[in-house]
Each structure stands twice: as structure tokens, then as C-alpha cells.
Amino acid sequence: MKNRLFRRFILLFAAAVLFLPLSGLAAQTQLQAKNVIILIGDGMGPSQFGAAWIYSNRVLKKDLRMSELMNKGRTSYLVNDTADSIVTESAAAAGQIATGQRMTARALSMAADGKTPVKTIMEMVKEKKLATGLVTTSGITDATPAAFAAHVAHRSDEESVADQELKFGVDVLMGGRKQFFLPENAGGKRKDGRNLLEEAQKAGYTVAGTAEELKAAPAGKILGLFNMGNMSYEIDRAATAEPSLAEMTGKALKILFKSKSGFFVMIEGGRIDHAAHRNDAPATIRDTLAFDEAVGVAMDFVKKNPATLLIVTADHETAGMSLIGHSKESKEYVGMDLKAIEKAKVSFELMAGMWGKKPTPEKIKEIVKQSMDIDLTDDEARTVADDTIKKLDPYNYNYDYLHSLGFVLRPYLRVGWGSQTHTASPLFLFGSGPGSQKIHGLMHNTEIFTVMKAALRLK
Ligand SMILES: [Zn+2]
């Protein structure tokens, strides 16, 4: 009897030993991602996220897709200091995400000597024959997308970035700043006289310039450039022929999905940052919501394609956005005036264009009334026209009049701004899918590279 039990035990033990490596292998296979989608909200700190969350739930009566991802997937706090600064800009931040190494300001995926390129995750996946994509509402030659496919000593060398992105052969390129693809005689900024749109077409790219053209574009390589400068803010987009970030994301995934060996794509909400630099709360919130819609498109794709690591994060916080409490009428905490945010019709950037170079207090009052339905007092309008806050805070680089405008609008919108520049605020990082198990606790943005690399089993 004892003997039989012992034999049974031995058999069970042998089976367990036999199956151990198998189950280990199964777990590994499960961890391997075929595709990686990383979405970066440029300038999307906790308050930008929080403002969009409040607006979405209370005005639009729906939760953010980002909340869903946070709840279903993994979440961590994220810090982002660089080799040479506590506060980063987008080039160093994106470079750190793309290469896993600490970067210096303004350089794009270059070692500290400014000369030695550091290999990016996109270069690694390209060697493995994965398809690649870069999508943004800012310029496609701007720092965040550029850091994945280009190496330049200074991010302002956007002519070289455009050239490098096409030489790299990035399958999907969508965004703004067409000017860096066109020679000066064709309205562009290229000093070398080259027309990269024509060159791209010859190299097999479909070139699209509007939302309609994007929709109609066939499968295959695509270069979608929808504005000579940055694409429009979401708040201004209805008056243009530009696609939304969600539409670009949908098209990008439809094209990249065709790749049998998988794909890597970086999708950026590039103008959250620009709106925040201008202390423009309504535009910041709308662009964060547009980014959230793109996250939703990616999440729907992942449901059907579970071998996809999905990562959502930010590169840095912009302008010290704060959701303050008090209104003009009450000493009680009330928080953001959602109606006032909802009523805003155009971005501060367009408003500044409308009031021109040296606006009078009357002109400022008129533009604010017509664009936001807010009646500034004479004193408030004068504070903006005198640009008082800029005088008090000259080291905080400044879009003329807009930091002062953001300041006088505080009791109307109940949104405050610490600066017009980036801050070192910690950020969120969340993700789902194979390899996302490593997202937890407090992480540094260089570790995002490690998570993506491990998920794709890159050496
Ligand atoms: Zn910025």
C-alpha cells in the first residue's frame, strides 16, 4: 500500500518536473508582444489629465478611456529627469523613452558628446522587419517623433529630421510641419532646394494632405502632412480639413496591422503641450480629450489583437497647471468653471493673432468677449495689455500677453498656471498587454524603453 502511494508520488513529481519548463515557456510566449503602441501626451501632467477627467465625466457624461486602461491594465508614477537637468524638454524626454539612456537637452537620440547616435527602439524593431509608424498633431519633425527615427545634435535641425525619417523608411508618418519637406520656392523652409514630397512619392509613399485624402489612401507607406506648421488645436480643428488624432490613429493601425511580423508605432498628442505653454486651459483640455479618443482607438485595436503591448504616458508636465478652487462670488471651494471652459470657441493662439502686436485694453476685452463670452473688467484688460505678469516674472519665457491673460482669467476658469515652461511634476505611465506586467510603482522614463524591448524580445 505504502509502496503504491510512493510510486504515485514519484509519478506526479516526475510529471511536475517535466511540465515545469513547458509552463515556463508558455508564460514566456504569453509575455512576448508582436506589436507595440506607445501613446505620448506631450505636456500631459496629472492636472492636465485631471482636468480632462473632470470635463469628460461632468460635461460629456462619460469616463476617459485612459481611466479604463488604468483600471484594467497596469499603472505607475513616472519621473523623467535627464543627464543634465531636473526639468526636461521633449527631445531629451523622448530620447530617453526611445533609447533607455539619459539624454541632454535639445539633442535627439545622441550621446552627450553630441556626435554619437544612440540606437533607438524603432531602429531595433526595423532590423527585425517590424513595420514602423510615427503620428503626431505637432510637427512630424518635432522632437517627440523625431527622437525615434532621427539623430541630430539640435532638435531645431528639422530639415535633417524630415530627410532622416524618410531615409529610415518609417511606414506611417502623419502630422504637421509640411514646410520642412518643401523647398523655399514651393513655400517651404528647405534650404537645399529638395522637394521631399516628390521624393517620398517616388520611394513608394502615398502623400495625403487632408482628412479626406487620408481616408482614401490605400494600404502601404503613407506620408500624411496636414499643415505647413503644427496641426490645429482640437478647439480650432472644425474650421480646417485636418483629421483628428483618433482618425490618424485608426488609419495608422489599419495600415500597420497588415505587417505579418508586427509593428511599432508612437502616437503623440503634441499640442496639449503647446496649449499649456500658452496657459490656455480650454485648448489644453480639448487636446487632452482628443488624445484620450486616440487612446480609445488603440484600446479597441488591442481587444482584437491581444499580442500588443499598449503604453500610454507623457514626456513632461507643461506650465504647472493647477486646478484651483475659488471663484469671484464665493469663498467656498468650487473648482473649474466647466461652463466657461465649454463656452471657449478658439485657442489663445488664434485670439493673440486676432488682437495683433500691441493690443489696447479695449481690443483685448473685445476678443475675450467674442472668443470666450467673458467680460473682463477694465483693470483686468489693462493687466493683459501691460503684460504685467511678464514684467513680474521675466525669466519665465513667455508668449506675450498670454501669461497675463491666463492670470486674470483665474477666477473665471479656476485654472492657474505656475509658469509658461515645463515642470518636473511626476507623471503617469499605464499600459496593458504582454510585457506590461513590468509597469508598477515608481519608474523612470528610461525604463519604458526596457519594458518595450523586453516585451518584443529584442537583444
Ligand atoms: Zn513644451
201-260 pLDDT, tens digit per residue, is: 999 999 999 999 999 999 999 999 999 999 999 999 999 999 999 999 999 999 999 999
Q: What is the mean pLDDT of residues 311-338?
A: 92
Q: How far is CA 12 from CA 8, 21, 27, 401, in A?
A: 6, 15, 21, 77
pLDDT at 50 over 60: yes
Q: For 306-323, how does the pLDDT look when each residue is reduced to its tens digit (9 = 90+)?
A: 999 999 999 999 999 999
Mean pLDDT confidence for 256-275 = 98
Evaluate whether 152 touches 107 at the Cβ level (below 8 Å). yes
Which residues are placed with Cβ below 5 angstroms of ligand 1, an ion? 273
Distance of CA 84 from the midpoint of ligand 1 (Å)? 17
**DSSP labels, 375-415:** ---HHHHHHHHTTHHHHH-TTS---TTHHHHHHHTHHHH-E
For the cut 70, the answer to whether the pLDDT of residue 7 exceeds it is no
Q: In the predicted model, what is the mean pLDDT of the chain?
A: 93
Q: Report if pTM > 0.85.
A: yes
Q: How confident is the model at residue 327 (pLDDT cuts 50, 70, 90)?
A: confident
Percent of the chain with pLDDT over 70: 93
- Average of per-residue pLDDT across 22-44: 76
Report which of 311, 308, 263, 307 is spatially closest to residue 126, judged by C-alpha positions.
263
* Lowest mean pLDDT segment, chosen from 86-95, 110-119, 230-239, 375-384: 110-119
Give me ligand 1 centre to Cα 274, in Å: 6
- Give distance in angstroms: CA of 198 to centre of ligand 1: 31
Asked if pLDDT for residue 28 goes beyond 50, the answer is no
Q: Residue 26: pLDDT band by 50, 70, 90 thresholds?
A: very low
CA–CA separation, 11 and 5 (whole Å): 10
Asked whether the CA dihedral 302, 63, 420, 386 is positive or negative, the reply is positive
What does the pLDDT read at residue 332? Answer: 84
Q: 111-116: which pairs have CB atoms within 8 A and are 24 or more residues apart? A: 112/83, 112/84, 114/153, 115/153
Please, is 454 exposed, middle or buried when counting C-beta atoms within 10 Å of its C-beta (0-12, 13-18, 19+)? middle
Quote the ligand 1 centre to 107 CA distance (angstroms): 15
Q: Is the pLDDT of residue 81 over 60?
A: yes
Residue 371 known to be catalytic: no
Q: How far is the CA of 390 from the centre of ligand 1 (A)?
A: 18
Angle at alpha carbon of residue 430, lines to 425 and 434, rounded to 5°: 150
Find the mean pLDDT for residues 299-310. 97
Cα Rg for the chain, rounded, in angstroms?
A: 24
Q: What is the mean pLDDT of residues 397-405?
A: 92
Q: For the segment 343-369, what is each residue's pLDDT rounded down to a tens digit?
A: 999 999 999 999 999 999 999 999 999
Q: Find the mean pLDDT for residues 170-177.
A: 98
CB 250 within 8 A of CB 299: no
Cα separation, 320 vs 417, whole angstroms: 5
User: Residue 208 corresponds to which cell in the numbers above?
Assistant: 495625403
Rounded (10°) angle between helices 65-72 and 281-304: 50
For residue 97, pLDDT over 60 is answered with yes
- The three-class DSSP label of residue 223 is strand
User: Could you give the C-alpha distances from 243 to 22, 58, 185, 304, in angstroms and in order?
Assistant: 47, 26, 27, 24
Q: How confident is the model at residue 25 (pLDDT cuts 50, 70, 90)?
A: very low
Coil, helix or strand for 230? coil
Contact at 8 Å (CB) between 256 and 207?
A: no
For residue 383, the CA-to-ligand 1 centroid distance in Å is 25
Q: What whole-number distance in Å separates Cα of residue 346 and Cα of residue 368?
A: 10
β-pair partners for 40: 268, 313
Place of cell 483629421: 243
pLDDT band at 114 (very low <50, low <70, confident <90, very high): confident
- Which of the four pLDDT bands, split at 50, 70 and 90, describes residue 19? very low
User: Which residue in the list 76, 90, 327, 425 is annotated as catalytic?
Assistant: 90
The burial class, CB within 10 Å (0-12 / 13-18 / 19+), for 459 is exposed
Does residue 3 carry a pLDDT above 70? no
| CA pair distance 451, 440, nearest whole angstrom | 11
Ligand 1 centroid to residue 382 C-alpha, Å: 28
**Each residue of 182-209: b (16+ CB within 10 Å) or e?**
bbeeeebbbeeebebbeebeeeebbbbb
d(CA 123, CA 249): 21
pLDDT for the residue 18: 46
